[in-house]
Amino acid sequence: MAVYGEWGSAEDIVYSNWEEKYFDIPSIKARGDLKFAYGLDFGYMTSYNAFVAVAYDPMTRTMWIYDEMYMKGMTNLDIAKKIVSMGYAKEKIWADSAEPKSISELQEGLIEERTGPKGKEYVRYSLPRIIKAAKGPDSVSNGISRLQEYHVIIHPTCRNFILEINNYAWAKDKDGNYTGKPDKLYDHLMDAWRYALSGELLKGHGAVIEAKGDDTAIAHTTMNGADSGAFIAPPVNTLANRDIISAEGPADVAPPHKRVCRVFSSVRYE
């Protein structure tokens, strides 16, 4: 069950539909009836680069949070290396659309020089299926509403996700009234989580119908082309006439279960 952090009030907290509970990650990954989603929020020195891995069942409205990244001071190469090492290099990752240059670089790949058994080697780290998350009017509130429909089970090893969801609160104005928007605190993994599920909001074909008296104007909007929003750019950080080794991360292995003390504070873990 949710234990509300420094806010102490259920009405302040955005999400109360979650519990911290151990589950077997390989068993979840092996289920053929689940969907999987991955989200990335960019940060740097003062904010966190946050990545989250999610499994969910749209029929039962159940969701499992089973992996995370939560680090400051990362270059795009650092981000690529970390996510590749976690085993998610080939997955579709929905990332913050406010960083088109970073998305483009991660798609194309960044190269690291290192010393190998035969001397210098150049290793390319890339996330070729990373794309920008959909944003628009009310995308934050719509995304939150969608996530609030699920019962969310968080693996205890995702302790930074637990920290944030436990403290992610509705903002108030100077008079103490709720603004209807979340506070910009503890929002890095919360944003990445919302980005991960943004693809669900774009599925299917639809028609927007505007009634104007006896006239009816119909504007057809095709939404299945969400992937077409991906940025394609010339190679970056490339070295001509060099043999480039593509980095393939190891198979994702479930981390060992650890007992986590449910005491929450403003301290973040890395």
3-state secondary structure of 64: strand
232-270 residue pLDDT tens: 333 444 444 456 667 765 444 344 433 333 333 344 444
224 or 128, higher pLDDT: 128
d(CA 140, CA 112): 36
CA quadruple 233, 239, 240, 242: dihedral sign: negative
d(CA 58, CA 108): 32
| Rounded to 5°, angle at Cα 161 from 254 and 112 | 65
pLDDT band at 150 (very low <50, low <70, confident <90, very high): very high
β-pair partners for 144: none
d(CA 54, CA 1): 19
Average pLDDT over residues 145-164: 97
d(CA 133, CA 156): 27
d(CA 18, CA 3): 10
3-state secondary structure of 255: coil
Q: Which of 140-144, 172-176, 201-205 bottoms out in mean pLDDT, i.e. has the lowest?
A: 201-205
49 or 227, higher pLDDT: 49
Q: Are the beta carbons of 48 and 68 closer than 8 angstroms?
A: no
Kindly state the DSSP code that residue 63 receives in the 8-state scheme. Answer: E
pLDDT of residue 137: 72
pLDDT of residue 135: 79
d(CA 19, CA 11): 17
Topology (CATH) of 18-108+128-231: Nucleotidyltransferase; domain 5 (3.30.420)
210 or 110, higher pLDDT: 110
CA quadruple 52, 255, 22, 27: dihedral sign: positive
Please say if the pLDDT value at position 13 is more than 60. Answer: yes
pLDDT of residue 202: 60
Please say if the pLDDT value at position 188 is more than 50. Answer: yes
Give CA separation, 128 vs 2, 89, 143, 244, in Å: 36, 7, 25, 16
Mean pLDDT, the chain, rounded, equals 80
* Radius of gyration of the chain from its Cα atoms, rounded to whole angstroms: 20
23-76 residue pLDDT tens: 999 999 999 999 999 999 999 888 999 999 999 999 999 999 999 999 999 999
Which pTM was predicted?
A: 0.75
β-pair partners for 35: 56
Length of the chain: 270
Please say if the pLDDT value at position 198 is more than 80. Answer: yes
